[in-house]
Structure 1
Amino acid sequence: MRKHYLIEVVQNDQLIIFCPPALVYDKQIKGIAFGSQSMEVEFLPHPDQDDRIVISRKIQEAIQFPHFKVPLHAFVENEVLYIGPLVGIFTAGFTSIPQQPIGERTLFFSKLLSVNKSVGVLPFVFGEQHIDWEQGVIEGYFFHDDGWQTVPVPFPNVIYDRLPNRKSEGNPKLIKVRERLQKEYLIPWYNPGFFNKLDIYERLQQDASITNYLPETYPFTSFSDIETMLAKYGHVFIKPKNGSLGLGVHQVIYDKHTDVYYCRYQDNQGVNRLRKYSSLERLFQSVFAHQALEKMLVQQGIHLLRNEQRAVDFRVHTNKDDQGKWHVTAIAAKIAGSGSVTTHARSGGNIKTINEIFPAEECDLYKEKLSNAALLLSTALDANVEGIIGEIGFDLGIDRNGEIWLFEANSKPGRSIFSHPELKEFDYLTRKLSIGFAVFLTEQSLLHPEELFK
């Protein structure tokens, strides 16, 4: 386990840093760096303290170090002592309300930043409007002592992308900021984009180790393809390639005994509907009259396990830790609402722990199956998707034969499962690891930058 050091600021103007002897022993250190700021200083061993680094007020001001008394990591590379890491969390949607600077997402960000002491990092939130390119400074939002403070800090060691939606992600101004910070300043940027369902499916198809988890999935091309899949599976799902929150998902069912078609979906008023049609053409003319079908995909229907006559799927979170290793950090069962095509809460779904769904023996079996699948899929996505991925939220299904299926992978997973009281500790674990991964990236950027920026 890496050691954390308290950074103590003393009121003098000396350019001298006192360090634990073990940190400076047998090393030639000539400078200190915090984020993008650095300066030359003299280093002396601190004979009495092995848990703190003592800097002067003059050094603190020069490197723009905010004195929040958070134990931090220390890395020595190329004769420089790096303290931090300073982690920038990039987002959009800021307000002018001091107590709610990021609107309705303020609570999420306050909880995310509150892991700082246990992880040993200084995280802050910022948007493109807070960057001063000329000075190389960002007006960062820090959550400290249960309140928000804005403090000018250097450019960070690492940036964690928390843009809220595809619209902000596609904003040309924000794209330019990301490219500039990555390419000009060589700052590692992780979780850089929302996944396209079809693109993810096609990339994962290249990896033979996980194809057994993938339901047949195709871009919408013709009615005949859907007829073929209905004959084979009895039902299919038609969903937007870039959808989220279960919006726009339709289940099409064919009853071969009566030769009729059914469509289950949620209408524009949020009401769950089940409609009956004499032909597939009539179904499409009625339900999809105003839909851009070229933006849809068709996916094999799976006969899922059920709980009290309702379909169940599973949200499985995976995170990389401060060693860059994948872990399963949360598993929850999502129960479909009455008449709903999805298990989302907005469609009447509800959350249960996996222990509430299965008896003890089955529970252990399915936990292991879901965890193994999620870790294999995480590794496969890591290898086949551009950018640095630090967390994924998988929607997995278990069919009546006990086989695991991947429905969706989410690069910015929602947090709704953590409303369940028994999942609070996993809420904390996912936040801790999502910030802790920045420690690994900081170390990699110092030791092996060619690996990150290849």
Structure 2
Amino acid sequence: MKPCSLKIIDGDELVLKYPEQAVHKRPSKVSFGGATVEVKSLPLKTSSDHHYMISRALADQLNIPSTIRRIHVLQKEDTLHFGPLIGIITSGFTSIQTKPVGDRSSFFSRLIKLQAKNGVCFILFGKEHINWEDGTITGFSYGKNGWEQLTVPFPHVIYDRLPNRKMEGEKSFRMVKKKLQEDYLIPWFNPGFFNKLEVFERIEQDSDAVEYLPESHSFTSFSVVERMLSQYGHVYIKPQDGSLGNDVHQVLYHREQGAYYCRYKDETGNKRLRKFDTLEKLIKVVFHRKPLSKMMVQQGIHLMKYDQNPVDFRVHTNKDEDGVWRVSAIAAKVAGLGSPTTHIKYGGEVKTLEEIIPDESMRTKIHDQITVASITLSKVLERYMSGIIAEIGFDFGVDTSGRVWLFEANSKPGRSIFIHPEMRSFEKLTRQLTLSYAIFLTKQSILSPEELFL
């Protein structure tokens, strides 16, 4: 699949003009996303093999946006496929034209702006924008004039950017997803939020990856917590389906005092550090409104520090234009004073590796260790988790002896590390790789759909 120039010319007939040397068989059909029409094809005598022309009537029939000037072209038998048409599904649409999905609009606009020079077409939509009767979507795109609403055919691939588990679990959405995948055979990548405990259980099946796992269990009894506190000194108790550092509690045992401490954020966002005589009392008071059956207990790690505060690392991995995993970003996160996590909303601060590890040899060693762990775990999760996974956000810790530990893996990673000025080029790389993988997946869905759906 290669990017070519596309020119829309006047004409009431369904006409395609193509460079003769670029096709192996005279095309009788043209496809864009889920739409295919028969055409009158005329070869162009030209030295260039990447200039195509279509009539206005054909562009209208296929719902190709008039702003498209570059597009990828792929031939299969007697059909020319223009694309990729990439659908981004999300929720939370508003009536504000300049911000169709509120504050998240800026991220999507930056992603969609890549389409002009990369020869792709994006459509941002929700389940309410699908026109089942004619197989089209009336969604949103972003161009020189800002956000605009337009109608396109069903896309080649769908990039899942649902913002939360609640929307993902809605019956109506699950039906939409099932229909698009099974009835229309549209590849759907990055489906589903990860369950933290399930991720660990999957990774435990792989001998190459298990070394990165701290001991973790679902909350079943006080005795498990007591035993882990005795062994590790502190543990973390957090929701199995949590995100953004919400409801993370650090529980510590002070041997000399024979006391238990719990560090957490309360409902008002205030930092708390409370002391208890017994673990049972701690659990009863701190977790009285929380369903313990949905919590997990994780081994505490004695992390490397920066200015006396614990540090962990956020890593983004993405699949590239060849469907191969790459590390696209690594940043350090320094915990805020008295916070149980390094999350920005709890006072954490983003730093580059150069800022927290000035020694070049040490920095290179840690960078390489984290990179190996990230690629290894990306491949393992792809193997054992369901769906087409193309991006993952990992939270790693490095202990005082230099060992790398996995804390969490997220299928829809947050983007808070990119607020650091030195991380902006990596933010752009993550968007570019998302686009590149969508091109790869489109090509696979056209040429070898059996590999995706059988």
TM-score by length of 2: 0.97
Aligned to 2:28: 30
How far off its partner does 1:288 sit? 1.1
**Contact 1:70 1:121 (C-alpha < 8 Å) held by counterparts:** no
1:252 aligns with 2:283: no
**Contact 2:2 2:74 (C-alpha < 8 Å) held by counterparts:** no
1:405 aligns with 2:389: no
Matched residue pairs, number?
A: 452
Three-state SS of the structure 1 residue aligned to 2:134 is coil
1:301 aligns with 2:300: yes
**Contact 1:70 1:122 (C-alpha < 8 Å) held by counterparts:** no
1:394 aligns with 2:394: yes
Aligned amino acid, residue 120 of structure 1 = G
Q: Write the distance in 2 (CA, Å) between the matches of 1:399 and 1:231.
A: 18
Aligned to 2:141: 142
How far off its partner does 1:44 sit? 3.0
Aligned to 1:198: 197
Q: Write the distance in 2 (CA, Å) between the matches of 1:70 and 1:245.
A: 40
Aligned amino acid, residue 79 of structure 2 = V
How far off its partner does 1:364 sit? 1.4
How far off its partner does 1:63 sit? 1.0
**Contact 1:230 1:254 (C-alpha < 8 Å) held by counterparts:** yes
Aligned amino acid, residue 365 of structure 2 = L
Q: Write the distance in 1 (CA, Å) between the matches of 2:156 and 2:272.
A: 50
Q: Write the distance in 1 (CA, Å) between the matches of 2:136 and 2:256.
A: 69
Aligned amino acid, residue 437 of structure 1 = Y
Q: Which runs of 5+ in 2 are unaligned?
A: none
Decide whether aligned partners of structure 1 residues 256 and 70 sit closer, same or farther in structure 2, where only a CA change above 3 A counts: farther
Q: Which runs of 5+ in 1 are unaligned?
A: none
How far off its partner does 1:450 sit? 1.4
How far off its partner does 1:28 sit? 4.0
Aligned to 1:226: 225
1:51 aligns with 2:50: yes
For residues 107-118 of structure 1, the aligned pairs below 5 Å read 107-118=106-117
**Contact 2:304 2:310 (C-alpha < 8 Å) held by counterparts:** yes
**Contact 2:319 2:437 (C-alpha < 8 Å) held by counterparts:** yes
Aligned amino acid, residue 95 of structure 2 = S
Aligned to 2:437: 437
Q: Write the distance in 2 (CA, Å) between the matches of 1:119 and 1:425.
A: 17
Aligned to 1:105: 104
How far off its partner does 1:258 sit? 2.0
Aligned to 2:128: 129
Decide whether aligned partners of structure 1 residues 22 and 305 sit closer, same or farther in structure 2, where only a CA change above 3 A counts: farther
1:379 aligns with 2:387: no
**Contact 1:70 1:116 (C-alpha < 8 Å) held by counterparts:** no
1:363 aligns with 2:373: no
Aligned amino acid, residue 379 of structure 2 = T
Q: Write the distance in 2 (CA, Å) between the matches of 1:215 and 1:146.
A: 50
How far off its partner does 1:272 sit? 1.3
Aligned to 1:5: 4
**Contact 1:30 1:42 (C-alpha < 8 Å) held by counterparts:** yes
Aligned to 2:237: 238
For residues 316-327 of structure 1, the aligned pairs below 5 Å read 316-327=315-326
Aligned to 1:40: 38
How far off its partner does 1:347 sit? 0.7
Q: Write the distance in 2 (CA, Å) between the matches of 1:426 and 1:282.
A: 46
Q: Write the distance in 2 (CA, Å) between the matches of 1:8 and 1:435.
A: 23
How far off its partner does 1:304 sit? 0.5
Aligned amino acid, residue 440 of structure 2 = F
For residues 341-356 of structure 1, the aligned pairs below 5 Å read 341-356=340-355
How far off its partner does 1:171 sit? 1.2
Post-superposition CA distance 1:45-65 (Å, at most 9, x none): 322343321111111111111
RMSD: 1.2
Q: Write the distance in 1 (CA, Å) between the matches of 2:152 and 2:283.
A: 55
Three-state SS of the structure 2 residue aligned to 1:5 is strand
- Once structures 1 and 2 are overlaid, which stretch shifts more, 408-417 or 114-123? 114-123
Q: Write the distance in 2 (CA, Å) between the matches of 1:193 and 1:9.
A: 39
Q: Write the distance in 2 (CA, Å) between the matches of 1:453 and 1:3.
A: 24
Three-state SS of the structure 2 residue aligned to 1:380 is helix
How far off its partner does 1:125 sit? 0.2
Decide whether aligned partners of structure 1 residues 424 and 264 sit closer, same or farther in structure 2, where only a CA change above 3 A counts: same
1:418 aligns with 2:418: yes
Post-superposition CA distance 1:4-30 (Å, at most 9, x none): 111100001243322223321x32422
How far off its partner does 1:448 sit? 1.5
Three-state SS of the structure 1 residue aligned to 2:260 is strand
Q: Write the distance in 1 (CA, Å) between the matches of 2:206 and 2:256.
A: 38
